[in-house]
C-alpha cells in the first residue's frame, strides 16, 4: 500500500479492509466507508497485535492484517527464499512444533530456514515424506500426534539457558546500540550522545559494541536488523525519544518482542525491558509508562533479544528539559548499565488444504 488509510476514506480498498476486520470478528459487517466503526476496529486490531494504536492503517498494520487472515490448513507452507511466507498459520505451526520439542527458533510467524528444518525433523519422526513443506499430510500427522503430546515452553527455556550460560561477566559479549534518528535533529543528537556514553562504559568492561549509525548518518530499520543478525549480537538496544501532538504526553517506556495473538514473548527481552524500566524510574523522575509487548520488526526479526527504550517525549517541555541536561543523560546511562549487568546475573544472585476438516483442527487446538 502506497499511502495510509484513515477515517473518511472510501472505495474498494476500504471494503477489503472492513471485510478482513469482519472475518476477524472485530467489525459486524463490511463497509465501503472508513467511519468511526472501522476506526475502532482498526484500533482494537492494533492493540491486539502489539502495534501503535492510531486507528490509521499504515503499511505495518496492512501487513499484519494480511498475516492475520491465515489459519493453519488454509495453504501449504514452505520456505521461499525471495519472499518468505508470513502469517498466523506459520505462527500456529511454529508454536506446535516447539511444544512437541522441535526447535524452530522464535515463534515469529515467518517461515524461514529454521522452521523448514524443524518441519523436516517432525516429518522424519512420524515417517512422513521429508520435504520441509507443511501440507495436508503433515498437518494431519500433527493433528494425530497432538492428541497424545502435551505442550510445554522449551523455547523459553532455551532462551533462559542461553542467557545463563553466558555468565554474569560482560566481557566478550556483543551488544548493538541503535540510537534512533527518526524524531528530528535534536532528539537524534540526544540518542546518539547516550549511545556514545554507553559505548565507552561497555568497551571498558570488555564488551564489543556496534553502533547502527554515526552522528550524521542514518540507516533503515531493515539494515539495522541485518547488521544485528550478521554479527551475532547478544543483545540489541534501541534508544528512542518519542513525539506527540499533545505536549502533555510524557514519560519513559520499554518494549520487547511479544504477541498475545501468537501466545509468545521473548523471555530475555521481557526481563531486560523490565530491568531497564525499573532502573530508570528509580533514578529519575520520568513518568513510568511501563513495559509493553510489541511486534515491531526490529524486535521481532532480530535473532538476539531486543529492547526499545522510549526515553521520554521531546514534545513535552519537562521531558525535553531533562533530556537536554548532560547530567540527566549520564543518570540514564548508569541506569541502563546496571540493567545490562543484572540481566546476566542468575535469579538467586539478583534479587493442500481441501482434504482437511476444520473440526480436526479445532479439536486439537490448531484452529479456533
What is the DSSP annotation of 185-198? HHHHHHHHHHHHHH
Separation between Cα atoms, residue 70 and residue 61, nearest integer Å:
15
Q: 1 or 77: whose pLDDT is higher?
A: 77
- Predicted pLDDT of residue 155: 53
Mean pLDDT value across residues 311-321: 95
- What are the structural domain ranges in the chain? 12-68, 88-161+353-363, 169-344
pLDDT tens digit sequence for 219-249: 888 899 998 999 989 999 999 999 888 999 9
Q: Is the pLDDT of residue 159 over 60?
A: no
Separation between Cα atoms, residue 210 and residue 212, nearest integer Å:
6
- R_g (Cα) of the chain, nearest Å: 22
CATH code at 169-344: 3.40.630.40
**If you average pLDDT over every residue of the chain, what do you get?**
85
pTM passes above 0.75: no
CATH code at 12-68: 1.10.101
Of the pLDDT bands very low, low, confident and very high (cuts 50, 70, 90), residue 158 is low
Residue whose grid cell is 515463534: 107
- Predicted pLDDT of residue 209: 94
Q: Is the pLDDT of residue 162 over 90?
A: no
- Predicted pLDDT of residue 16: 92
Q: Which residues of 93-115 are buried (b: 16+ CB within 10 A; e: fewer)?
A: bbbbbbbbebebbbbbbbbbebb
Q: All 3 cell numbers of residue 34?
A: 472508513
Domains 12-68 and 88-161+353-363 share a fold: yes
- Predicted pLDDT of residue 182: 75
Separation between Cα atoms, residue 292 and residue 176, nearest integer Å:
21
pLDDT tens digit sequence for 252-276: 999 999 887 777 778 889 999 999 9
CATH domain 88-161+353-363 topology: Muramoyl-pentapeptide Carboxypeptidase; domain 1 (1.10.101)
* The dihedral sign for the CA sequence 253, 257, 258, 259: positive
- Predicted pLDDT of residue 150: 46
Q: Is the pLDDT of residue 110 over 60?
A: yes
Amino acid at each position: 500500500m502506497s499511502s495510509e488509510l484513515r477515517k473518511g476514506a472510501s472505495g474498494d480498498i476500504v471494503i477489503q479492509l472492513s471485510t478482513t476486520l469482519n472475518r476477524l470478528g472485530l467489525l459486524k459487517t463490511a463497509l465501503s466507508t472508513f467511519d468511526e466503526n472501522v476506526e475502532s476496529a482498526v484500533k482494537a486490531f492494533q492493540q491486539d497485535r502489539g502495534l501503535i494504536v492510531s486507528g490509521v492503517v499504515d503499511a505495518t498494520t496492512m501487513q499484519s492484517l494480511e498475516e492475520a487472515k491465515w489459519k493453519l490448513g488454509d495453504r501449504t507452507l514452505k520456505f521461499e527464499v525471495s519472499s518468505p511466507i508470513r502469517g498466523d498459520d506459520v505462527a500456529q505451526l511454529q508454536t506446535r512444533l516447539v511444544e512437541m520439542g522441535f526447535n524452530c527458533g522464535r515463534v515469529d510467524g515467518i517461515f524461514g530456514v529454521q522452521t523448514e528444518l524443524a518441519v523436516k525433523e517432525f516429518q522424519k519422526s512420524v515417517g512422513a515424506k521429508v520435504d520441509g513443506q507443511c501440507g495436508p499430510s503433515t498437518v494431519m500427522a500433527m493433528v494425530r500426534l497432538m492428541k497424545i503430546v502435551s505442550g510445554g515452553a522449551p523455547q523459553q527455556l532455551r532462551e533462559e539457558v542461553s542467557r545463563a550460560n553466558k555468565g554474569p561477566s560482560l566481557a566478550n559479549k556483543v551488544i548493538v546500540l541503535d540510537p534512533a534518528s527518526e524524531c528530528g535533529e535534536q532528539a537524534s543528537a540526544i540518542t546518539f550522545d547516550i549511545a556514545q556514553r554507553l559505548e565507552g562504559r561497555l568497551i571498558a568492561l570488555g564488551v564489543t559494541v556496534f553502533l547502527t549509525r554515526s552522528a550524521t548518518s542514518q540507516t533503515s530499520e531493515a539494515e539495522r536488523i541485518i547488521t544485528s543478525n550478521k554479527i551475532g549480537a547478544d543483545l540489541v538496544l534501541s534508544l528512542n525519544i518519542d513525539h506527540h501532538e499533545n505536549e502533555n504526553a510524557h514519560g519513559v517506556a520499554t518494549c520487547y518482542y511479544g504477541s498475545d495473538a501468537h501466545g509468545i514473548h521473548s523471555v530475555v527481552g521481557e526481563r531486560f525491558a523490565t530491568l531497564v524500566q525499573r532502573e530508570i524510574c528509580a533514578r529519575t523522575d520520568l513518568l513510568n509508562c511501563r513495559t509493553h509487548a510489541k511486534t515491531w520488526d526490529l524486535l521481532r526479526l532480530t535473532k538476539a533479544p531486543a529492547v526499545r527504550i522510549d526515553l521520554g517525549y521531546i514534545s513535552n517541555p519537562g521531558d525535553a528539559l531533562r533530556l537536554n541536561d548532560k547530567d540527566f543523560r549520564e543518570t540514564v546511562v548508569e541506569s541502563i548499565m546496571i540493567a545490562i549487568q543484572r540481566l546476566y546475573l542468575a535469579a538467586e544472585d539478583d534479587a493442500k488444504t481441501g482434504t482437511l476438516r476444520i473440526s480436526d483442527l479445532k479439536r486439537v487446538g490448531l484452529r479456533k
